[in-house]
C-alpha cells in the first residue's frame, strides 16, 4: 500500500504537469493528419454500424437483446471497451514512445502511464458525449443514474492503469509484449458480453454467469448499461463492486511493484 499511496501523492503534486502533457499527447495523435480528430471516430463508428447491420438488420428473426434496440444496447457496452483497449495499447508502448523523458534522471517516469491515460480519457469523453446525444435523439429521458458514467469511467481508468504499469514495464525488455496485448484485446472483446446478450449462454448454462462475473471488465460494461438503460446504481451490486475494486487494487499494486522494480534499468535498455 505504501507504493500506491506514494504514487497517489506524486500524481496530486504533479497534477498540473500531467494535465499539460496529457493535452499535448492528445494533440500529438493528430499532428500531420488532414482530417485530424475525425479519424479517431471513424473506426469505432464503423464497428458499431457493422454490428448494427449484422444483428439488427440481418438477424431480424432472432433479436439479440431484450427490451432495447440493439444499437442502443450496444453503445454503452462498446464505448468503455474502446477506452480500455485504447488505454492498454497506448500504455504498453509508453516507455518507448517517451524514451527521451525516461532517460532524463530528473523526470518522474512513473507519471508517464498516467499522462497517456489522461490522453485516452479525452477521447473517451468525446464518445460519452456522442452516446448521450444518441440516447436523447432516441427519446430516452435523462435519469439520475446517468451520472454514474463518471464513476464507471474512473473504475475503467484504474483497471487500465494497473494493467498498464505492468505491460509498459515488461514491454521495455520484451518487445513482443505489445503484440501479445493486441491479440489479447481482440480475444478479450468476446470474453465480455459486449456484442452479445449474456442470456444467450446463461439461460441454458447458469454457471456461465459466474464465469462472466469473474472478468473484472464485466463490472464496467454492466455498469454502463445499468446506468444508461436500467436506472440501477452501483451500490445495488455490492458483491460485484467489492470484487471489482479488490481485483483492481491488487492489479495496481502488482503492476506498480513490477514497474518500480524494473524502472532503474529502463534507460539502459531504451
Question: Grid coordinates standing for 56?
Answer: 439488427
Pinpoint the alpha helices (H) of 93-232.
94-97, 99-102, 112-137, 148-173, 177-191, 199-202, 208-214, 216-225
Please check the confidence at residue 21 and state whether its pLDDT lies above 60: yes
Closest CA to 148 of 53, 218, 78, 227: 227
Question: Grid coordinates standing for 257?
Answer: 511493484
Determine if the pTM surpasses 0.85.
yes
Q: Are 267 and 13 in contact (CB under 8 A)?
A: no
Q: Are 112 and 91 in contact (CB under 8 A)?
A: no
Pairwise pLDDT comparison (264 vs 255), residue with the higher score: 255
Question: Grid coordinates standing for 121?
Answer: 480519457
pLDDT in tens, 106-115: 788 889 999 9
What's residue 61's pLDDT?
45
At 167, the pLDDT band (50, 70, 90 cuts) reads: very high
DSSP 35: S
Amino acid at each position: 500500500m505504501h507504493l500506491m499511496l506514494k504514487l497517489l501523492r506524486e500524481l496530486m503534486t504533479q497534477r498540473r504537469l500531467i494535465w499539460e502533457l496529457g493535452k499535448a499527447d492528445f494533440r500529438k495523435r493528430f499532428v500531420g493528419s488532414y482530417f485530424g480528430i475525425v479519424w479517431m471516430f471513424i473506426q469505432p463508428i464503423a464497428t458499431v454500424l457493422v454490428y448494427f447491420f449484422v444483428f439488427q438488420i440481418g438477424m431480424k428473426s432472432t433479436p439479440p437483446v431484450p427490451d432495447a434496440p440493439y444499437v442502443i444496447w450496444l453503445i454503452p457496452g462498446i464505448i468503455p471497451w474502446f477506452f480500455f483497449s485504447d488505454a492498454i495499447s497506448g500504455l504498453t508502448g509508453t516507455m518507448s514512445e517517451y524514451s527521451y523523458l525516461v532517460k532524463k534522471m530528473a523526470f518522474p517516469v512513473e507519471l508517464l502511464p498516467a499522462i497517456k491515460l489522461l490522453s485516452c480519457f479525452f477521447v473517451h469523453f468525446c464518445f460519452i458525449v456522442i452516446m448521450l446525444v444518441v440516447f436523447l435523439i432516441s427519446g430516452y429521458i435523462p435519469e439520475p443514474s446517468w451520472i454514474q458514467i463518471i464513476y464507471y469511467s474512473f473504475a475503467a481508468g484504474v483497471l487500465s492503469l494497473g494493467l498498464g504499469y505492468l505491460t509498459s514495464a515488461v514491454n521495455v525488455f520484451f518487445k513482443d509484449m505489445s503484440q501479445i496485448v493486441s491479440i489479447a484485446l481482440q480475444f478479450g472483446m468476446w470474453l465480455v458480453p459486449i456484442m452479445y446478450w449474456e442470456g444467450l449462454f446463461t439461460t441454458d448454462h447458469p454457471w456461465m454467469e459466474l464465469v462472466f462475473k469473474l472478468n473484472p471488465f464485466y463490472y464496467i460494461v454492466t455498469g454502463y448499461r445499468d446506468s444508461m438503460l436500467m436506472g440501477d446504481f452501483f451500490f445495488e451490486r455490492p458483491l460485484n463492486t467489492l470484487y471489482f475494486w479488490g481485483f483492481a487494487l491488487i492489479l495496481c499494486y502488482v503492476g506498480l511493484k513490477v514497474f518500480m522494480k524494473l524502472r532503474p534499468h529502463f534507460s539502459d535498455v531504451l
